[in-house]
Structure 1
Amino acid sequence: MAPTATKENESTPQPQSKPHVGTPTRRPLLAHLNADTTWLLSLPIPSSEPTSIHLYYHVLIDPWLRGGQSDVARFFSQQWHATPSACQSIEDVESIIRSIEAVAAEDPPGLVDGELLSPKQDPHAPNKNGNYIDAVVVSHEFTDHMHKDTLMEIPPQVPIFASTKAADIIRGWKRFDTVLEIPRFEGDWRKSSISPLPEWLGISRVAYAGADMLYYHSAVMIAFSSGGVEGEAVIYTPHGISPDDVAPVAAAEPKLRTLALLHGLQDIQLGAQLNMGAHNGLKVQRLLRARYWIGTHDEVKTGGGIVSWFLNRKMFSLPEAIEREKVEREADGRGSMKGTEFDSLADLRFREVENGQLVILE
């Protein structure tokens, strides 16, 4: 599998060839494993963990690699990936992890921004003892996020962190030893570092206090620290989230730097609002000031069913979202955006990561 090209706005710095990511400058890695919303987040293990036999802690997010997905019933909604996933199986994901570990251990490290190693590229990569995947995050119970056939390939020893309803469903499969409900973020990321997570890593759900069981417009926050109490966070919100609901992240104590915001560009409605799109993402990014804003859950999948007759999908580019924002600001008396931090794409730091790409989150 050849690496694919990166689509970025003109102001985004171009990736440098073979950046050094070994200790002490090792940085998180984010790999897009399909064209939709399956990600592998690899976090550098702090040097204070001398017993670790590998360099990264690997979190698999919303795995759906191949086959179809259906919610309620096939006649109601059924979909398939329009583009084959970069990884077709959990075995492929494990092979990617082995290659990441091997290449990161080189001197100098051989990781290249914008590239994803082929699952079959490095047969000599050393195995980790135990599981290759350290944890799995399932953000919603809908089967494009909680895809049973894919999840059932994962070894039962791997802990699953899931939303309330998804956790209940997954426990019913009686496969996994540990299935935990993702706790709500309440201001201190360290409180979400629940066993079996290491103490430098926490997984929590960002949602308003009255959120229903679906937590539809919410976010999963993966927070971590290489030392001390202040940390960094990856905010994953495949359907979007209200800016008001992420305000606690911006005001967190100890402080959190939002390293990456994963928020899609498509505005999708089915009577009610489903995916909140680029215009909402612009507002969230203004609040969080993430180092990277990365699109997710924007694949236009193939399929059908009753849902497809009523689905209203609009794709807004970032320039269109900015123009809409300018009109709104002038209409409600906030004045022009000219001269503000978000006047141009240069300050949005948006990056599109293609199916089959790895990004080094500097």
Structure 2
Amino acid sequence: MASIAAKDNESPTQPQSKTHINTLTRRPLLIHLNADTTWLLSLPIPPSQPSIRLYNHILIDPWLRGGQSDVARFFSRQWHATPSACQSIDDIESIIQAIEAAAAEDPPGLVDGELLSTRQDSHALDKSMDSIDAVIVSHEFTDHMHKDTLMEIPPQVPIFASTKAADIIRSWKRFHTVLEIPRFEGDWRKSSVSPLPEWLGISRVAYAGADMLYYHSAVMIAFSSGGQEGEAVIYTPHGISPDDVTPVAEAKPKLRTLALLHGLQDIKLGAQLNMGAHNGLKVQRLLRAGHWIGTHDEVKNGGGIVSWFLNRKMISLQEAIERDKIEREADGRGSKGTKFVSLADLRSREVENGQLVILE
């Protein structure tokens, strides 16, 4: 079974006091399963919903081991530079069962900022119930839609995917349910489609005229523990135009953004690929997420023609703040709107490979 081990030394960006989960006021958990952009989001099941478990577990863009290639190997081929914290779907299910067991303890045995590790011991996995409740595939590119990893997932687990990814996954004829992620239209409750429970919705935040790739877009996981107002996690591995997230900021019923997952690296291949920290700052200005967490920033091993022309630039958050200040003064905004003058204002947080975060 999975063991949950606290790290020896906390990163300077982590809180100095550790926050334990209260079983009466459970909060969402976010676990980074690799150094790149595979996540496990565990949402507390409302007390009003009968369940033998405490959380609904959503796996996002799973790529755990092995290589990935788009178009052809001579064009692009990559591998993780750092081994993933979880090497298999069984490892993820072990983590899930350990989380459920730890959360049920009195006092709860989960700690914000701890590193999770998997190891086999005398306890066998409980296969009597499915551990993963849903899988999100944000794009059809194989670092998001990694076939070898996805094929390990039990076929009864529903897949929510972008348009093109959904078509490809259906062609594998493995999964019973493959649904296209609907576009967010202002009311998150409309994205709570079967087989999701009524308190949970998955939608895509994108400009209405976006092309089929939805490259610069976001997946929103929204939920409510009661009442109409909800909370949301915004996942945008390549970045998104600030204008396109305005509907989230203006949503009715209101949505509180718990976490923004937006990368820090500016990456170009002729055209803009990942939009980087400066764009993320503008999105965070609108959403004021409780946590801004970097994603899709692993510098992977690989080669191919793409590697010759890829332009990767790492912009620090402090550099983004300074650049933003200059731009705002130049266009006359000055003190208007939300200013970020420190890293604390950004609510930015680095989440390591295998690390757990409690989303307050």
TM-score normalized with structure 2 length = 0.95
Structure 1 stretch 326-335 or stretch 222-231: which is displaced more?
A: 326-335
Q: Is 1:37–2:37 an aligned residue pair?
A: yes
Residue equivalent to 2:298:
299
Alpha-carbon separation, structure 1, partners of 2:330 and 2:28? 41
The CA deviation at 1:15 is: 4.0
Alpha-carbon separation, structure 2, partners of 1:104 and 1:292? 22
Residue equivalent to 1:16:
18
AA partner of residue 47 (structure 1): P
The CA deviation at 1:334 is: 1.6
Q: Is 1:26–2:11 an aligned residue pair?
A: no
Contact preservation (8 Å) 1:295, 1:351: yes
Identity, % of aligned positions: 84
Root-mean-square deviation (CA, aligned residues, Å) is 1.8
AA partner of residue 39 (structure 2): W
**CA deviations over 1:242-281 (Å, ceiling 9, x no partner):** 0000000000000000000000100000000000000000
Contact preservation (8 Å) 2:94, 2:125: no
AA partner of residue 345 (structure 2): D
Alpha-carbon separation, structure 2, partners of 1:128 and 1:102? 15
Alpha-carbon separation, structure 2, partners of 1:206 and 1:239? 13
The 5 Å alignment of 1:341-360 reads: 341-360=339-358
Residue equivalent to 1:313:
312
Alpha-carbon separation, structure 2, partners of 1:221 and 1:288? 12
Contact preservation (8 Å) 2:237, 2:262: yes
CA spacing shift, 1:327–1:121, aligned 2, 3 Å:
farther
CA spacing shift, 1:27–1:121, aligned 2, 3 Å:
farther
CA spacing shift, 1:222–1:264, aligned 2, 3 Å:
same
**CA deviations over 1:139-181 (Å, ceiling 9, x no partner):** 0000000000000000000000000000000000000000000
- Any idea what SS the aligned residue of 1:14 has? coil
Moved over 6 A (4+): none
Alpha-carbon separation, structure 1, partners of 2:11 and 2:213? 33
The CA deviation at 1:7 is: 3.9
Residue equivalent to 1:248:
247
AA partner of residue 234 (structure 1): V
Contact preservation (8 Å) 2:44, 2:54: yes
The CA deviation at 1:13 is: 3.9
Structure 1 stretch 174-183 or stretch 107-116: which is displaced more?
A: 107-116
- Any idea what SS the aligned residue of 2:117 has? coil
CA spacing shift, 1:307–1:6, aligned 2, 3 Å:
farther
Contact preservation (8 Å) 1:100, 1:117: no
The 5 Å alignment of 1:174-189 reads: 174-189=173-188
Alpha-carbon separation, structure 2, partners of 1:304 and 1:63? 21
CA spacing shift, 1:340–1:146, aligned 2, 3 Å:
closer
Contact preservation (8 Å) 1:171, 1:179: yes
Residue equivalent to 2:359:
361
CA spacing shift, 1:127–1:300, aligned 2, 3 Å:
same
Alpha-carbon separation, structure 1, partners of 2:317 and 2:87? 31
Unaligned runs of 5+ in 1: none
**CA deviations over 1:319-357 (Å, ceiling 9, x no partner):** 0000111111122222258x9541222211100000010
Residue equivalent to 2:210:
211
The CA deviation at 1:70 is: 0.2
Alpha-carbon separation, structure 1, partners of 2:111 and 2:44? 16
Alpha-carbon separation, structure 2, partners of 1:100 and 1:30? 11
Alpha-carbon separation, structure 2, partners of 1:164 and 1:346? 37
Contact preservation (8 Å) 2:65, 2:83: yes
The CA deviation at 1:127 is: 3.0
- Any idea what SS the aligned residue of 1:70 has? coil
Alpha-carbon separation, structure 1, partners of 2:300 and 2:186? 37
Alpha-carbon separation, structure 1, partners of 2:241 and 2:153? 33
Alpha-carbon separation, structure 2, partners of 1:303 and 1:47? 47
Residue equivalent to 2:80:
81
Unaligned runs of 5+ in 2: none
Residue equivalent to 2:264:
265
The 5 Å alignment of 1:1-362 reads: 4=7, 7=11, 9=13, 13-16=15-18, 19-23=20-24, 25-50=25-50, 52-120=51-119, 124=123, 127=126, 129-335=128-334, 341-362=339-360
- Any idea what SS the aligned residue of 1:69 has? coil
**CA deviations over 1:176-202 (Å, ceiling 9, x no partner):** 000000000000000000000000000
AA partner of residue 344 (structure 1): S
CA spacing shift, 1:40–1:15, aligned 2, 3 Å:
farther
The CA deviation at 1:14 is: 2.7
AA partner of residue 140 (structure 1): H
The CA deviation at 1:230 is: 0.5
**CA deviations over 1:122-148 (Å, ceiling 9, x no partner):** 754883742110000000000000000
The CA deviation at 1:8 is: 5.1
Alpha-carbon separation, structure 2, partners of 1:48 and 1:286? 35
Alignment length (residue pairs): 356
Alpha-carbon separation, structure 2, partners of 1:41 and 1:331? 40
Alpha-carbon separation, structure 1, partners of 2:249 and 2:257? 8
